[in-house]
Chains A and B, each alone.
Chain A
Amino acid sequence: MSGPDNSGLRRGGAAIVGAAESDLGQVADGFNVIDLMAQGITRALDDCGLCLKDVDGLICATTQSRTSGLNLSEYLGISPAFIDTTIIGGSSFMFHVGHALAALQLGLCNVAVIAYGSTQRSIGRQNASVREINPYETPYRPFLPSSAYALAASRHMHQFGTTREQMAEVAVAARQWALKNPVAWEKKPLTVPEVLGARMVSFPFTVRDICLVTDGGGAIVMVAPDRAKSLKKPPVYVLGHGQAITHANISSMPDLTVTGALASGQQAYAMAGLAAQDIDVVELYDAFTINTILFLEDLGFCKKGEGGAFVSGGRIAPGGSLPVNTNGGGLSYCHPGMYGLFLLIEAVRQLRGEGGERQVASAQTAIAHGNGGVLSSQSTVILGTEATL
């Protein structure tokens, strides 16, 4: 179940030096995913003071371009020395961080960009991410991914007594953070009764338990530590990385209450020499409200089964004891289909003190945890400021 030993990756062996979103929400008519990736890359390079001709490592993922690495290279006019287009769902970008760290450490490239783009709101989700037929699942007409995550939630409710109200608290906390983020899609407050009373999609989830459907993209820029220090902004170092793939389809998930985040988190913490209590800012892939609960448990912020109680009473909302999903999350900020890159962007901003109204005071460490498929691929990245090296 666990991924390969990542002991070959060096703590602090690379830094994120640039981070930016492309346009988000509903982008201009005719924009395609390569446009959005290029926009994100340009902005992320501006953020750190590098330019296109410096880029020799190109990493990207999108559901809307089968050979995105080729298309993006051509569009940008670069011939990358290192290229990676691993695509395993929304956690792809956390896997990419591990690959970029390895490539920079080995000298396969000097400046790596990781990019994403999606126009799923503009063209429709069914067009942006065409479902594959599975003869063992398709006959039952699951809404994927919603029905699969609902099955996981049913199991958590059965085994641990987790309630719909507790899951709704996750959505409410995300909304409160989103109201502090000027580029968040959602602009109005949300209450627990409103979550519970919204249109039922797949029990126990209403539409408010489920992430947004937006356009969007972005990029981050990574370099080796020696180069990072001379750039525009304080470097954010990769302290830990872990990954785990447990299944592809929900009917093959070994235990619906325990995700690969347990293994990926353990790898990342071991590499970083940190534990959950050392983390200042927590960014978790909240495609559904149950995700936040599962990942808080599997990443050690609370015990297995106690996630529902843990998120209650505003603990993860602004002003609570643990800041979680400070950008408003996939639930209220933006979710173009593969959300992982945005968790990394927000973690970088928090560690630079660029969080504005939602800034977590004196944040030195952050965790960005990505999820892909139907709880299938998990990857954990632990980031820190120079003070944590």
Chain B
Amino acid sequence: MPEVEQSPLAVYQAHLDKGELAYQWSAAAGRAVFYPRVVCPYSGSTALEWRVASGLGTVYATTVTYPFQGDGYNIALIDCDEGFRLMGRVEDIDPMAVKIGMRVKFRVHAAEGDEPAYPVFIPISPNGEGA
């Protein structure tokens, strides 16, 4: 048996399949770690604790990428409230209307065929309700 039975990616993916956005917490560094890995890049500690994020975050950067055929789509970097950043897509809104500083909430883009589930985001109004 290998010493580690489940890769960081497999644990992350299992959370996504349950509708959860998981990240790691490094007690040694006192901060969140993302993407999931086997060592904390801030402290060198291998003691990384899995946590489930609230799913709330803020758009840090945004672009709309245009394929040769078809409509442009959003690609954004999201700063999650727990202090980690990840790439995502803001949906349910014109991709050009996604603005830096916009508050967003996580939802799962379900697995399709060979493609595993992945996190996407939707805008939320200032009181936390869906847009």
Q: Which residues of A contact B (CB under 8 A)?
A: 135-137, 139-143, 146-147, 150-155, 158, 199-204, 250-252, 256
Contacts and interface: CB of A to CB of B under 8 A. Distances in A.
B73 interface: yes
B62 interface: yes
A146 B65 contact: yes
Contacts of B101: 158
B9 interface: yes
Given A139-B109, A158-B100, A201-B66, A251 B73 contact: no
Interface string B105-118: 00001000001101
In this complex, the member of B66, B87, B96, B109 whose beta carbon has the largest number of chain A beta carbons within 10 angstroms is B87
The B interface is mostly helix, strand or loop, or mixed, namely strand
A256 B66 CA distance: 22
A143 B60 CA distance: 19
A140 to B, nearest CB: 5
A199 B68 CA distance: 10
A154 B61 CA distance: 6
Contacts of B63: 147, 150-151, 153-154, 202-204
Contacts of B9: 135
A154 B100 contact: yes
A2 to B, nearest CB: 16
B89 interface: yes
A136 B12 CA distance: 10
Nearest to B74: A140
Nearest to A139: B118
B20 to A, nearest CB: 16
A201 B65 contact: yes
B15 interface: no
Nearest to B36: A136
6 contacts: A135-B116, A150-B63, A150-B65, A155-B61, A200-B66, A256-B77
In this complex, the member of B66, B86, B109 whose beta carbon has the largest number of chain A beta carbons within 10 angstroms is B66
Top 9 nearest A-B pairs by Cβ distance? A150-B63, A139-B118, A151-B61, A202-B65, A251-B87, A158-B100, A203-B64, A136-B35, A155-B61
Interface string B46-83: 00000000000000111111110000110111000000
A158 B99 CA distance: 9
Contacts of A151: 61-63, 75-77
Nearest to A206: B66
B116 A136 contact: no
B88 interface: yes
Given A142-B75, A200-B64, A204-B63, 8 more contacts: A135-B118, A139-B116, A146-B65, A154-B62, A199-B66, A201-B65, A203-B64, A203-B96
